[in-house]
Structure 1
Amino acid sequence: MRVDGPGVVTSDDGRRFVALALPDGWRVVDAVCPHNQGPLEQGWVREGRTLVCPWHWYRFDLDTGACSTSPQHVLGVHPVREIDGVAYADVGEPPRPMSWSERLRAHARE
């Protein structure tokens, strides 16, 4: 997926991501907070490498996706490569749809 500038970017299959310009390069992360689906494009970058969700102030490391607020939540961070002066993010394949039993089990775990 091509990264044209900071803000929300959409992959060809419709998934949304947030592109962040940091002093040492681009970071591309999932567009919603894994805690409660908050809009991360409205979040803040603090201390150079921490993204803070605007809804509940969960803090995510922009290199690893680890959450310092609650370790059970991990933000999807996607590698970015520059090719001929253009940044591209490898967001991988879209996740396969979960079956109803998988959804119920996931909901029960939360």
Structure 2
Amino acid sequence: MTLVPLGDAEGRDSWVVGAPDGRRFAVFRVDGGLRVTDAVCPHNQGPLDQGWLRDGRVVVCPWHWYRFDLDTGECETTPQHRLGTYPVVEHDGARFADVGAPPAERSWADRLRAHARGEG
């Protein structure tokens, strides 16, 4: 488990936070709470914190307008893409995202096989 401090919104509706291992996450203020997702769009790596919030639960990528549900990560534009979503927890009065352990490094062979299967 990796807990990433979310900080204060400071009047913003979205911002980016980083984990000690270098991963980055977008934070969205919606419905009086916070939602945390991967910082970039899985379609083409667009900066989601610069996207638009719609209907109190959807972020629209600013690059190609792919739409993602902030609660489930499901892509409303095409089902082949999915956005990582992470729970927000409170500890000692501060809010954190539980972003889990960093993914294991894949060998080049594994990366090439995944690419050949269309998995990125």
Smaller-chain TM-score range?
A: over 0.9
Which residue among 64, 71, 79 is the counterpart of 1:56?
A: 64
Count of matched residue pairs: 110
Which residue among 102, 113, 117 is the counterpart of 1:105?
A: 113
CA distance in 1, matches of 2:114, 2:63: 22
> Which ranges in structure 1 are unaligned for 5 or more consecutive residues?
none
CA displacement 1:19-52 (0-9 Å, x = unmatched)? 1111231111101111111111111111110011
TM-score (norm 2): 0.86
Could you tell me the percent identity over the aligned residues? 62
| Matched AA of 2:18 | T
CA distance in 1, matches of 2:105, 2:92: 35
TM-score (norm 1): 0.93
Q: CA RMSD in A?
A: 1.1
| Matched AA of 1:3 | L
Instruction: Describe how 1:1-110 pairs up with structure 2 within 5 A.
Output: 1-5=4-8, 6-110=14-118
Moved over 4 A (4+): none
